[in-house]
Structure 1
Amino acid sequence: MRTVLFTCMDADTLGGIQRVTHTVAQGLAERGYEVHVAGLHRSADPVRYVERPAYDHHVIGATPPERAWRRSDRRAVTRLLSGVGPCYVVMTSPAVVTRMRDLLAPHRHLGIGQYHGSFDHALGSWHFRSVRAHYGALDQAVFLSADDARRFSEAALLPNTCHLPNPLPGWPQTVASVGGRRILGVGRLAGVKRFDRLISAFAAARRTGGAPGWELHLIGDGPEEERLRLHATAEGVASSVVFRGRIPAAGMPAEYLKASVVGLSSEHEGLPLVIGEAASYGVPCAAFDVSGGVRALVVPGRTGLLVPPADVPALAAALSRLMGSADERRRLGAAARLHAERFRLEHVLDRWTSLFEHVSR
């Protein structure tokens, strides 16, 4: 079997699941697979992830994802499955699995359920109940890290878990000097990213570390921007926090090359690509230890600095340590780049191929 169908709730909105799906789809298509990417709903603000896709793209329904799953949508999915033929069906979230699981034909469609979040985040939401109820009946349940796969296997009694990381979309030949004075925060300016905590930690590091001239650049847009601007003012660092807005993927290499540190202050993450991408450029991170995926990317003290979740003083201390020593940044950054090799696209595609062989047995 050489056909793969990736299914997302919405395949074209700006987001980590979508970006990874299109990256892997293109990579597998270039290896000779027949690949399809389907969104169960149309995006209100679509993003083009691949300029010249070697795979087919489908949109099932025009309704927003929060609307009910209609009979016409089910019929459209059934027609798509019939037209694609025998294939690996990769369902990228619990919401997709609940909608599609019963539409798969035994032996004709091999079902693979992904979960792009962490075990800890799932446990506090409906995601865990959905994974426990539906993923065990699939041919494979796929998680982002060995730690997450083990914890889901034990707590949700899943007999079919494995782990497969998200890939880095590219591998740079040039690395950052990390000699400048710029910290990057990358992501949508939304509550879950908790950039307010990164701003507070940055302000504290500037006060206690005695490192003048440093700036925090926030790359992304979103509903929290005005509140974050006010927070930077309240922390006394408004002139040093630069809101850059959304930057196209093609522009991010230049941003990483100018950076000396990346900060991650999220409430929860699966496997945050920003840490891996920064590492590929030799840029170390200071991050909250919020998931097995973060721990898969960062070896504490060797490739970056991890601190307890939501511990702003500890994050400030980590930033201060990195801001205070270019030699430390270069040491950690060089080790981070070596560690990130395992997340290169070609290595992750090899693992996808092995996964397909495993579920076909």
Structure 2
Amino acid sequence: MVSTLDDTKRLSIATKLADMKALQNLLINNEQQFIQDCTDDEIRDRLQDMLKDDQKNLGILDTVIVQYGVKGEPKKTSQKMIEQVQELMEGSELTLFEKVQEHELLKHKQTMAGLLIHKAAQVVGADVEAAIAPLNTVNFENRAHQEQLKGILEILGVRELTGLQPQQGLWARVQDAVAALTGVVGSVVTRTDDEMTIRELLLMDHTKADTLFMEILSANDPQKIQEYFGQLYKDIKVHGMAEEQVVYPAVRPYYEHTQEIYAQTDEVMEMLDEIKAVDPASSEFKAKVEQLRTAVRTHINQEEKDIFPKLRDNFSHEQQKQMATEFKTAKSRLQEQMAASLTEQDS
């Protein structure tokens, strides 16, 4: 019987993502406090832009965590560090310069965490890379923020030490550094929305499923096959149930074959449970997975060919974003329920 327990590598990435979300909330709180405390209009404007980016990036982190599909909690040491820093930031012990200096270090910590997750995904599995793809935007913007913060620190530091203004040309240097960084990153384009549309989220799920099927069918190690199928099982189950709760009821008035889509989903769910009972080392396992892949691909093709245009033509961009939020919330709730159920089965 195939287990759906997460392996250590995937759980470690989930924990690091949870650390990033907790730290992202601290960064937002810090920037809100800086904006209140700062009297320099230009610095305030740059902090306002940074705050907007970080609020958007919190939404992107939420999306990555749900798409990843493995639940994690922040490490206790991370939570303790965040509480200590928050106490310092809210107190009067540090000057504004010192607080922003600490904030820049936190940005560096967040940047390195995002890059580490990206590198870890490359060695754990292609499906993990697919799930965390939006994290590239967060990583890029955190690195750009570091350059902006260096400029803010130069101004605040010179004023604090000398009472004088730093030399002119500072912001031009900062913008040159950000532009150079953009050139290094290349194809990364920052998002202007804090939420993807429902079609974008569904496409991410479809891509991840395709990747997991490829990993299962190309693997020869039963343990790796078990790991990949365990993730596929959870992803497709949660995806299908969330669609039945959010997407299909919304599109039903515009699509006459909605019941057919429901039936396809039920068939896939039954196939998943059937495969779960098969030994991944047996000769029939991959044959059944291949049958499942065909069924899932048929469902995806119909969804992308028929339902996606209905979503595009009958729902505004804002409505599609709202549906994405509801879909993500449903997936998160279902993931928690499934994790609790698996824990009970193993105890």
Q: How does the TM-score come out when normalised to structure 2?
A: 0.26
Higher relative contact order (CA 8 A, sep 6+): 2
- Higher-Rg structure is 2
Q: Which structure shows the higher strand fraction?
A: 1
Q: How does the TM-score come out when normalised to structure 1?
A: 0.25
Q: Which structure shows the higher helix fraction?
A: 2
